[in-house]
C-alpha cells in the first residue's frame, strides 16, 4: 500500500529548480504540495508542466496537488490548513524580494519549517530573527535545470543536494534535526539523484560559494562561458585567488574546508565546457543578480573577521556598475 501524504508543503518559486523540487516532493507520496506561481499561473494551471528530466524522464502536463497565485491565496484556499514546510526556491534578492515578507502568510509560528533552496551566505538570518521558534533549514543544490517558454522544464544535470538545519537558540537542536531529517526522507523517497543530510549546513554553503562566488560572478563580468574563462587563464589569475579568499573567510568564521576543495572546484570542468552560469544569464537578460547574498554578505563577514579580500572586492564593485547600467537602460525605456 502506498504511503499516505502526511505533510502539507507550500513551495514558492517554481522555476527550473523549484518545479523539480515540487515534482520530487509529490513523487514521495508523503506530501501534498501547493505551489505559488505568479507569472505563469494562468498557463500552468490549465496545461501543467512538460518536463524533460535526467532524473525523472519525460512527463507531459504534470501538476502538483494545487497551484495558486500568491502566498496569501495558499494560506486561505483550504480553511484550517497549516503548512508543515514552506519551501523557498526563488532567487535570493533580499533588497527586492525579502523572504520574510514573501512567506509570512503561510507561516504558523512554532510549527512551519522554512526550507531555503537558494544560493548565498547568511540567507537564514532574517528568517530566524522574524520567526525565532520555527525550524529553519536549507538545501545546497547542484542541479542543471531551466524553464523554456511557455511551460517546459529541462533538467540536464542530476539533482544532488546537501540539506541540514540552521541551528539556533529558539528551537531545540534535536527538533531542528528531526524536522530536517523528515524533509530529507521525503526528498530521497521522491527519487532525487543524491540527497545527503549534513549537520553543518553552513560549511556546505561556503563550499558552494567557492563556485558561485567565482565562476558565477567572473563569467558574468566578462560575459564568458566557463570554458572561455578557463582557456583565457582567468581561472589562474582570478578564480583561484578568489576561492582562497572565500576559503579564508570560512575558516575565520569556524567553517574550515579541506584545502583540496579549491583545486577540485577550480579544475573539475573541461576547458571546452560551454556552460553559462546563472548570473551571466541574468546579466544578459537584464535581470537582477544575486550580488548581495553571493559576494556582499561574504565581504561583510570578511570585514568583521579582518580577512583580506582584494579580488572579491573589485569584482563586486565592477558588477555593481553592471547592475547600474541595467537600471539605467530600463529607466530609458520607460
Contact present, 165 and 135 (Cβ < 8 Å): yes
* In the block, residue with C-alpha cell 538545501: 139
Q: What is the pLDDT of residue 1?
A: 54
pLDDT surpasses 60 at 228: yes
Q: What is the CA radius of gyration of the chain?
A: 20
Average pLDDT over residues 106-115: 97
Joined together, the cell numbers standing for residue 51 give 518536463
Cα-Cα-Cα-Cα dihedral of 270, 272, 273, 276, to 10°? 140
Strand locations in the chain (E):
7-12, 31-36, 49-53, 57-62, 66-68, 85-88, 113-116, 136-148, 152-165, 194-197
Average pLDDT over residues 185-208: 95
By percentage, how much of the chain surpasses pLDDT 70?
99
Q: Whole-model pTM?
A: 0.94
For the four alpha carbons of 84, 88, 94 and 98, in that order, the dihedral sign comes to negative
Model pLDDT for residues 140-158, shown as the tens digit of each residue: 988 888 888 899 999 998 9
Contact present, 59 and 154 (Cβ < 8 Å): no
Judging by beta carbons within 10 Å of its beta carbon (0-12, 13-18, 19+), is residue 317 exposed, middle or buried?
A: exposed
22: closest CA among 39, 42, 53, 3? 53
| Pairing mode of beta strands 136-148, 7-12 | unpaired
Q: What is the pLDDT of residue 170?
A: 94
Q: How confident is the model at residue 4 (pLDDT cuts 50, 70, 90)?
A: low
Q: What is the pLDDT of residue 126?
A: 96
Average pLDDT over residues 21-38: 96
pLDDT surpasses 90 at 226: yes
Average pLDDT over residues 84-90: 97
Distances (CA, A) of 251 to 28, 121, 164, 247, 258: 37, 14, 20, 6, 10
275: closest CA among 215, 209, 225? 225
pLDDT surpasses 90 at 9: yes
When the pLDDT of each residue in the chain is averaged and rounded to a whole number, the result is 94
Amino acid at each position: 500500500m502506498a504511503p499516505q501524504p502526511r505533510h502539507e508543503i507550500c513551495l514558492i518559486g517554481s522555476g527550473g529548480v523549484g518545479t523539480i523540487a515540487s515534482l520530487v516532493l509529490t513523487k514521495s507520496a508523503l506530501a501534498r504540495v501547493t505551489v505559488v506561481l505568479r507569472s505563469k499561473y494562468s498557463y500552468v494551471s490549465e496545461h501543467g508542466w512538460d518536463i524533460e528530466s535526467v532524473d525523472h524522464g519525460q512527463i507531459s502536463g504534470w501538476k502538483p496537488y494545487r497551484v495558486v497565485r500568491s502566498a496569501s491565496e495558499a494560506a486561505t484556499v483550504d480553511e484550517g490548513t497549516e503548512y508543515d514546510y514552506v519551501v523557498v526556491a526563488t532567487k535570493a534578492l533580499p533588497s527586492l524580494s525579502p523572504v520574510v515578507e514573501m512567506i509570512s502568510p503561510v507561516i504558523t509560528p512554532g510549527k512551519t519549517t522554512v526550507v531555503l533552496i537558494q544560493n548565498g551566505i547568511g540567507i537564514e538570518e532574517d528568517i530566524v530573527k522574524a520567526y525565532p521558534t520555527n525550524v529553519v533549514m536549507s538545501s545546497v543544490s547542484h542541479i542543471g535545470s531551466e524553464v523554456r517558454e511557455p511551460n517546459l522544464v529541462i533538467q540536464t544535470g542530476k539533482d544532488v543536494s546537501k540539506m541540514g538545519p540552521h541551528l539556533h537558540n529558539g528551537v531545540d537542536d534535536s527538533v531542528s534535526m528531526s524536522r530536517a531529517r523528515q524533509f530529507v526522507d521525503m526528498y530521497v523517497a521522491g527519487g532525487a539523484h543524491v540527497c545527503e543530510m549534513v549537520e553543518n549546513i553552513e560549511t556546505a554553503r561556503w563550499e558552494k560559494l567557492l563556485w558561485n562566488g567565482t565562476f558565477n560572478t567572473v563569467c558574468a563580468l566578462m560575459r564568458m562561458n566557463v570554458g572561455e574563462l578557463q582557456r583565457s587563464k582567468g581561472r589562474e589569475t582570478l578564480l583561484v585567488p578568489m576561492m582562497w579568499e572565500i576559503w579564508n573567510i570560512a575558516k575565520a568564521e569556524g567553517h574550515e574546508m579541506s584545502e583540496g576543495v579549491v583545486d577540485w572546484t577550480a579544475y573539475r570542468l573541461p576547458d571546452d565546457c560551454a556552460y553559462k552560469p546563472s548570473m551571466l544569464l541574468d546579466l544578459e537578460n537584464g535581470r537582477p543578480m544575486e550580488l548581495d547574498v553571493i559576494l556582499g554578505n561574504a565581504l561583510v563577514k570578511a570585514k568583521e573577521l579582518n580577512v583580506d579580500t582584494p579580488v572579491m572586492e573589485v569584482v563586486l564593485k565592477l558588477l555593481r556598475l553592471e547592475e547600474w547600467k541595467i537600471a539605467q537602460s530600463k529607466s530609458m525605456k520607460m
